[in-house]
Structure 1
Amino acid sequence: MDYKDDLMLGYRGYEKKGIKPLYPFGYGLSYTTFGYSNIKVTPGVAVGNTPIKVSFDLTNTGKVGGSEVAQLYVGQQNPKVERPIKELKGYKKVFLKPGESKRVTIELNDRSLAYFDVKTNQWVVDADTFNLSLGGSSQDIRLNAKLVNSFRQELSTTTSNPLPRSALNSVLVEKPPVKTGGVFQQTVE
């Protein structure tokens, strides 16, 4: 048996091949049901490193209290490189009593739209429209929205790192030595 790591494994590969698994990624049982409504994306256009807030109303439509893990998937409409149809980029677990509603917000950053370009060794966000999909699993999508990124961005690995700032401060990234004027110099970011 050959095993190889690939971008198109799991739910990403199933979607690409049109396979519907018995239990999709993110699937979970509950004693209640949930409704999703009123999606809003702020701002509706990606602007540099401004966080993108995806807000929606989540309602317990069942007769008992329960938790829902609302999942936010992002997919690029016209990718220039091979990318999954959609990727999980955020989620939030919410407990609601019967009939209760809450306004829920999931934040995305510029890295949520990016792919890693092995040629330039950078994270890249292409100018394109991105599909945002919300639901209880990768196959149970309840709400959709669009986000427009109007210019290509190249992100450095330090400024776009999803680690919290406190963790980032303790991480040093060494760059390979560069020969300048007969002398090798090495930098640390």
Structure 2
Amino acid sequence: MGNGLVIGDDGLARPRWAATDPLLRNYYDTEWGMPVTDERGLFERISLEAFQSGLSWATILRKRPRFREAFAHFDPDVVAAFGTADVDRLLGDAGIVRNRAKINATIGNAAATVRLRDGVGLVEFVWSFRPDETPRPTSYAEVPTSSPESLALSKALRKQGFSFVGPTTMYALMEAIGMVDTHLVGSHRRGSSGVWPTEPVRGG
């Protein structure tokens, strides 16, 4: 299809990035763009988006099971208590992305997540930046890479002590957890999150 969608052998339209690799296809069909509203799940997504910076998402997905084991299934309380020995352990773990700055950022972000519980908590904090409208891209060229809301979320998280949460990374997070719907118009997943239920169906 000219807009970047590919019709699969099951007759469903998906973007090119999710059309062939079984892992990416399953992720697209079942998880990407669906709401994440629990603290641990959201902390995991923030962490994985940070590790993805400069790498392909397929690489992160393939390493995700090991990431979960290495980071105590992204329990913020446990990760916040990681010390020097844990950092050394993680740097020696070939099953994850061995980047000292990103590892330290994840530990620091866990501590920041715990601190946010004294206020509204991570989930309400992040979701408070949901925009009033979502994009309706009909091609890859129309998919934003950042937005005023992702810039504001980035600044707010940094103020709370988070790192590796730049505007582009936060926009990717917003896409992944359904805060915006950037499924291309015509994709079988467009409008599936329930976050934007009043959106008219177009270009099916």
Tell me the TM-score range normalised by the shorter chain.
under 0.3
Larger of the two Rg values belongs to structure: 1
Q: TM-score if structure 2 supplies the norm length?
A: 0.24
| Structure with the bigger percentage of strand | 1
TM-score (norm 1): 0.26
